[in-house]
Amino acid sequence: MQTRFSDEALEQPHIREADRILRSCVHCGFCNATCPTYRLLGDERDGPRGRIYLVKALLENPDAGDTVIAQTRLHLDRCLTCRNCETTCPSGVEYHKLIDIGRAEVEARGRRSLTERVFRSLLRRSMGSSRTAGPLFALARGVRPWLPRSLQEKIPPRSVAPGKRPPAGRHTRHMLVLEGCVQPGLSPNTNAAAARVLDRLGIRLEPAPAAGCCGALDYHLNAQDDGLDRARANIDAWWPAIEAGAEAIVQTASGCGAFVKEYGHLLAGDPVYAERAAVVSRLTRDLVEVLRDEPLDTLQAADGRRVVFHCPCTLQHAQRLGGAVEAVLARLGFQLAPVADGHLCCGSAGTYSVTQPELSRKLRDQKLKALEASGPELIVTANIGCQTHLGGATNTPVRHWIELVDEALDPAETHPSSP
Ligand code: SF4
Ligand code: SF4
């Protein structure tokens, strides 16, 4: 794709990066075929190729008027950042980096309405901390029966209590784990189950108490500076354990993992944090990357339940780990039913279900139909966002896949009672 940036514009790092990405696109349009919003809306501007053109037009025209900015924002806001288009693209276009540049540009050039700004700020502040997210969801669960159905669906069902974590200091192999912001309140058993399973494999899994939200929530709501501040705070929180020999930083939520793996890129220009951010990204592993390298034949886990797996976009498209969980579960003896259109997003996408409720609901309903086609007893996934989004709209329990493994390994010690 040809670009028309002036030499002066190209002196800015973000324009140089946008120029490089734009030039890699051959505008073939293959990506439209797998874009969930293009499939739903049929509008070129709601597909990846159209959004790429919108960002290009905006960046090339510093004098773009309010209408152009508002239209560009509308179509960029509708993008799920699911990155399905990147998996499909034959030219390796780094779409997510371009859309981040486009979103920051839109935000810098025109303010949103006051209502929208307040709403997005509240969303970031309430969801970006386990101290506020947990109590908020607990309160919402208490009044759930009296709310309209559309709101009930947004409130996740009661979570499974966390069973006992293994005693600290039992093994010399040591890995950090991110607790995150919403997961401790919504699914406290996920990290406890991961710690128990890794304990059986001789690995100690411990959180760094000062680490918090990975920053993805802020970053993708266009508060990019706040998102980077959270990244810096996490790097500081993890650094002493890294220096003490922690082997990896394990992520049990694929959304957080995808973002922490980007710290190195996002902080590359930071004179203080660039080097440490690169180390943190290099050490970051999704839980499945840890388990697949371990001798799983020592564990006999399968428990005969009918299970399906929903692969989050952040696992298959962002981290390119599609099929990895299925392979680990198969090695442990589980038989998963196939799921049609497994590459498509469930509509959770961070805060998308709140900011774009209609599109999100359509995607969720399509996904649940595909997942439940085989009549499963349990749906497992790898990201807390997908887990709660899907779980709010079905009677089939939706859990993290590590809970399934944990329960099958030792049903007496863990807490298999489903919500
Ligand atoms: S598939 Fe890749 S190269 Fe083709 S239009 Fe989409 S982003 Fe551009
Ligand atoms: S990230 Fe997802 S929603 Fe956005 S353009 Fe790509 S495929 Fe479409």
| DSSP characters over 66-94 | HHHHHHHHHHHHT-----HHHHH-TT---
Q: Ligand 2, closest atom to CA 51?
A: 5
Greater confidence (336 vs 410) lies with 336
Q: 27 C-alpha vs ligand 1 centroid, how far in Å?
A: 5
Spell out where 118-172 has E strands. Answer: none
Q: Which residue is listed with tokens 């966002």?
A: 385
Q: Which residues of 134-161 are buried (b: 16+ CB within 10 A; e: fewer)?
A: beebeeeeeebeeeeeeeebbbbbebbe
Q: Report pLDDT digits (tens) over 302-322.
A: 778 899 999 999 999 999 999
Ligand nearest to the CA of 77: 2
Mean pLDDT of 270-290: 98
Mean pLDDT of 295-300: 83
Q: What is the pLDDT of residue 156?
A: 64
Q: Report pLDDT digits (tens) over 184-215.
A: 778 889 999 999 999 999 999 999 989 999 99
Spell out where 96-172 has E strands. Answer: none
Q: Report pLDDT digits (tens) over 115-165.
A: 888 878 877 776 656 666 666 666 666 666 766 666 666 666 666 777 788
CA distance 299 to 418: 23
Instruction: Return the closest-CA partner of residue 335 out of 250, 243, 404, 239.
Output: 404
CA distance 63 to 334: 58
Cα→Cα distances 70→61, 103, 119, 180, 356, Å: 14, 12, 18, 33, 16
Q: Which residue is listed with tokens 């990147």?
A: 86
Domain ranges for the chain: 9-111, 298-409
Q: How confident is the model at residue 413 (pLDDT cuts 50, 70, 90)?
A: low
183, two tokens = 């997961």
Determine contact, residues 231/223, Cβ cutoff 8 Å: no
**Does domain 9-111 match CATH 1.10.1060.10?**
yes
**Which of the residue ranges 57-71, 89-103, 137-151, 364-378 would you say has the lowest mean pLDDT?**
137-151
Strand partners, 307: 336, 378
**Which of the residue ranges 201-205, 266-270, 295-299, 357-361 would you say has the lowest mean pLDDT?**
295-299
Neighbours of 339 (CB within 10 A): 21
Neighbours of 28 (CB within 10 A): 11
Q: What is the pLDDT of residue 370?
A: 98
Strand partners, 286: 251
CA distance 165 to 299: 18
- As a whole number of angstroms, the longest Cα–Cα distance in the chain is 68
CA distance 123 to 351: 8
Element (H, E) at 381: strand 378-381
| Alpha carbons within 13 A on the beta-carbon side of 38 | 18
Query: Mean pLDDT over all residues of the chain?
Result: 90
Instruction: Return the closest-CA partner of residue 311 out of 341, 334, 351, 342.
Output: 342
Which of 22, 23, 89, 95 maximizes ligand 1 atoms within 8 Å of its Cβ, making it the mutation to test the pocket? 89
Which of 21, 41, 80 maximizes ligand 2 atoms within 8 Å of its Cβ, making it the mutation to test the pocket? 80
359, two tokens = 């599109």
Q: Which long-range contacts (CB under 8 A, 24 or more apart) does 393-396 make?
A: 393/153, 393/364, 393/365, 393/368, 394/368, 396/371, 396/372
Q: How confident is the model at residue 418 (pLDDT cuts 50, 70, 90)?
A: very low
Amino acid occupying residue 382: A
Which of 31, 39, 53, 85 maximizes ligand 2 atoms within 8 Å of its Cβ, making it the mutation to test the pocket? 85
CATH of domain 298-409: 3.40.50.1860
Q: 101 C-alpha vs ligand 2 centroid, how far in Å?
A: 15
Q: 47 C-alpha vs ligand 2 centroid, how far in Å?
A: 7
CA distance 349 to 372: 21
Q: What is the dihedral angle through the alpha carbons of 109, 219, 400, 157, rounded to the nearest 10 degrees?
A: -60
Amino acid occupying residue 260: V
Neighbours of 240 (CB within 10 A): 11
Ligand nearest to the CA of 345: 2
Give me the sign of the Cα torsion angle 53, 57, 60, 62: negative
Phi-psi region of 375 (alpha: psi -120 to 50; beta: other; left: phi over 0): left
315: DSSP letter: I
Amino acid occupying residue 311: C
